Amino acid sequence: MSADEGSSERPLAGRIAVVTGAARGQGRSHAVRLAADGAAVIAIDLCAAPATTEYDGSTRADLDETVAMVESLGAGCVGLSVDVRNLSLLSGAIEQGLGTIGDERARHVDIMVANAGIAGGAPIELMAAEAWQEMIDINLTGVWNSVKAVIPSMLANPRLPANGGSGTASVVLISSANGGLKAPPNLTHYAAAKHGVVGMMRSLANELGARGIRVNTVHPTAVDTRLIHNDFTYRLFRPDLESPGREDVVELFRSFHSLPIPWIDSSDVSEAVAFLASDASRYITGITMTVDAGLSAR
Amino acid sequence: MANADERPEDPRRSQRLDGRTAIITGAARGQGRSHAIRLAELGANLVLVDVCADLPLIPYRQPERSQLDDTARAAREAGAEVRTVVADVRDAAAMSDAAMLAVGELGGIDIVIANAGVIQLKAATEIRPEDWAAVIDINLTGTWNTIAPTIAPMIDQGRGGTIIITSSAAGLKGPPNMAHYAASKSGVIGMMRSLSTELGPHSIRVNCVAPTTVDTEMVHWPEAYALFRPDLESPGRDDVTDIFASLNVLPVPWIQPADVTEAVAFLASDRSRYITGTVLPVDAGTLVK
């Protein structure tokens, strides 16, 4: 185990991060990125398909691979399969995770990355009430549950000034550029949830700032993951084609951006998450950080 | 999956700026100096610009030539190739020369940090036309003068680039007694957004940082203290800390130049390769408060 204090090579050494939605995609990337900076990781994922999503769910094998990737970087890791919609199970899982990794002196959450989320889309006349409800339950209430579940541990963190330390704890909520700052058609549930995360972040930033907990949102544009790369999304964007594929949506996605790219990589979001998680941003709270190739400024 | 015998690939994108050239204005002290030394440590070569002379109408001392030289010396000690330019950002021809210096002697332009700026603290009824003009000319037009001559070379180089403008939390919120300053700092955000869409196709990124109060000479001068503490005869630094702290969510009166530099270094590097058109506050929560 590395030293308690971070170095320039491992600035998060001795810290514990919780990442939800960690089995694959952005969440896996964040877990691995924070581990490379030295953090131990509690990796949480549903490891199943929600009822209303139109693409494959994650699996326990996916989560196990994330754990293996984190461990290969020399960081402690525990993977726990739990639904962010269930606050009591989530709280229990984080307690269990804290008991498993780190040494006894350092069993407090330093970093919370609330990343778990689903995507979907339909005109309001066709959107099922169940789809609305599941979106709000996972992408909004699930984020609140995730913060709620780590707050007891965070508030007791000895790194905070209130507990005699001189550091901060960092909560990073993953919103969206398209859903959280803009609001294109056919995304009523997604936009409501992702805008809601911003309001939650702002209130929490005001509430927790004096106690040394920073709270910010990250707003990615389309990321090259299963969330956009699935047949349902392809058909949503190219209703003119019978069986559209990845290549059929490149130009359309590129047209959303100022930079000449159709989508970004998970690792691009992870760099922003790592920045907000670290002391490099010790005086940054309450901000909406975009990683969106210029989408929201257009 | 990685074989147990081999080191797994490091997932981190590099913060290094080796071989890149940056132009930094307001580099003699404060935030500009902090940015310069950090970028030098990260491997960049530098053109450092500062006016190095007191300015009419600006109510606090400006740096001296020796301070610009001190910044340059520190940057060279960190390994950078450095050129210094004593120029007022209001002088478009001089700023064009600074850009050409980077192109001619340091291999091109990759990073532009438009940091030079001034403040006056005056009630709206006290702001005279010449006050308005000075603040707008330096903070808004000076930013334009800094960036404009770098655009064509960066496009021609064909290797992209990153432009970072120092705005302010006052560019997004409305603190009193600085109508001209707030206008200038909002103005650069508009400039940034327009340039981000225009230059994006060339992979040139344009962003702002928006600091809260930073612990520099721009904040710490007697008349500023007096404005914040009219109840005291000759207030000092300690007399204003609580007032400045009350503006922030995090329990600090002001942040350090190094805190802004962290954001600037992030935006300067490939860590932010797909971030453009954004304002990155480093504001201790003052905007959310």
Residue with tokens 């006050």: B131
- Closest CA in chain B for residue A295: B277
Q: Taking the model in full, what pTM does it have?
A: 0.95
Mean pLDDT by 10 residues, chain A (298 residues): 65 96 98 97 97 95 98 96 98 95 79 97 97 98 98 96 94 98 96 98 98 98 92 91 95 97 97 98 98 96
At which residue do the structure tokens 């859903």 appear? A179
Query: Does any domain span residue A215?
Result: yes
Q: What angle do CA B281, B287, B289 make, to 5 degrees?
A: 140
Distance of residue B181 Cα from the nearest chain A Cα, in angstroms: 22
The secondary element (H helix, E strand) that includes residue A150 is helix A142-155
Say yes or no: A11 contacts chain B, CB-CB below 8 A: no
Distance from CA of B197 to the nearest CA of A (A): 5
CA closest to B206 among chain A residues: A294
Q: How many CB atoms lie within 10 A of CB B232?
A: 12
Confidence (pLDDT) at A102: 67
Q: What tens digit of pLDDT does each residue of A156-167 get?
A: 999 999 999 999
Q: Name the phi and psi angles at B279, rounded to 5.
A: -105, 125
- For residue A2, being part of any structural domain is answered with no
Residue A283 with chain B: CB contacts under 8 Å: 212, 250, 252, 255, 259, 282-284
Could you tell me whether strands A40-45 and A77-81 are parallel, antiparallel, or unpaired per DSSP bridges? parallel
The answer to whether the CB atoms of A161 and B277 lie below 8 A apart is no
Residue of A nearest to B10 (CA): A36
Q: Distances in Å between the alpha carbon of A201 and those of A46, A286, B136?
A: 23, 7, 34
Please check whether residue A244 is in contact with residue A210, taking contact to mean a CB–CB distance below 8 angstroms: no
Q: Which residue of A has its CA nearest to B5?
A: A72
Amino acid letter, residue B68: L
Tell me which chain B residues have a C-beta less than 8 angstroms from the C-beta of A72: 1-2, 8
Residues of A in contact with B203 (CB under 8 A): 259-260
Distance CA B261, CA B241 (A): 22
Beta strand A213-220 with B45-50 is unpaired
Q: B159: pLDDT confidence band, cut at 50, 70 and 90?
A: very high
Name the domain count of chain A: 1
Q: Which of A33, A209, A293 sits opposite B276 (nearest CB)?
A: A293
Q: How far apart are CA B44 and CA B116, in angstroms?
A: 19
Provide the pLDDT for residue B5.
54
What kind and span of H or E run contains A173? strand A169-174
Q: How far apart are CA B110 and CA B116, in angstroms?
A: 18
Residue A297 to residue B196, Cβ atoms within 8 A: yes
pLDDT tens-digit map of B161-207: 999 999 999 999 999 999 999 999 999 999 999 999 999 999 999 99
Q: How far is A269 from chain B (nearest CA, A)?
A: 9
CB–CB of A268 and B274 under 8 A? Answer: yes
Chains A & B: contacts with CB separation below 8 Å? 146
ipTM over 0.90: yes
DSSP string, B159-219: S-EEEEEE--GGGTS--SS-HHHHHHHHHHHHHHHHHHHHHGGGTEEEEEEEES-BSSTTT
Check if B225 is active-site.
no
Q: Do B205 and A271 touch (CB under 8 A)?
A: no
Question: Measured on CA atoms in the order A127, A128, A134, A140, is the torsion positive or negative?
Answer: positive
User: What residues in B contact A205, CB-CB < 8 Å?
Assistant: 249, 285, 288
Confidence tier at B2 by pLDDT (50, 70, 90): very low
With left for phi above 0 and alpha for psi between -120 and 50, is residue A102 left, alpha or beta? Answer: left
Q: Is B251 in Cβ contact with A259 (below 8 Å)?
A: no
Q: In this structure, is residue A112 part of a structural domain? A: yes
- Residue B159 has phi, psi (to 5 degrees) of -120, 20
- pLDDT, residue A1, reads 34
Q: How far apart are CA B153 and CA B175, in angstroms?
A: 38
Contacting A residues, span 108-167, partner chain B, CB-CB under 8 Å: 161
Beta strand spans in chain B (E): 21-25, 45-50, 82-86, 111-114, 161-166, 204-211, 279-282
Q: Does A214 touch chain B (CB under 8 A)?
A: yes
C-alpha span between A170 and A286 (Å, rounded): 11
Residues in B closer than 8 angstroms to A284, CB to CB, are 263, 281-284
Kindly indicate whether the domain formed by B21-213+256-282 is annotated with CATH number 3.40.50.1580: no
A117 within domain boundaries: yes
Residue A9 within any structural domain of the chain: no
In this prediction, residues B29-38 reach a mean pLDDT of: 98
Chain B hits for A61, CB-CB cut-off 8 Å, are none
Q: What span, in angstroms and rounded, lies between the C-alpha atoms of A93 and A87?
A: 10
Answer left, alpha or beta for residue B264, where phi above 0 means left and psi between -120 and 50 means alpha: alpha
A127 to chain B, closest Cα gap in Å? 32
pLDDT in tens, A170-192: 999 999 999 999 999 999 999 99
Beta bridge partners of A291: A220
Residue A170 located in a structural domain: yes
* Structure tokens given for A132: 């609305």
pLDDT for the residue A236 = 87
What interhelical angle do A25-36 and A60-72 show, nearest 10? Answer: 20
- Domain holding A185, by residue range, is 16-297
- Determine what percent of chain B is predicted with pLDDT higher than 70: 98
B245 touches chain A (CB under 8 A): no
A38 SS3 class: coil
Mean pLDDT (whole number) for B274-285: 98
**Chain A hits for B276, Cβ within 8 Å:** 258-259, 293-294, 297
Neighbours of B28 (CB within 10 A): 27
Give the domain CATH number at A188. 3.40.50.720
B217 pLDDT tier (thresholds 50, 70, 90): very high
Q: Which two tokens stand for residue B220?
A: 């710490």
Please state the φ and ψ torsions of residue A238, each to the nearest 5 degrees: -125, 65
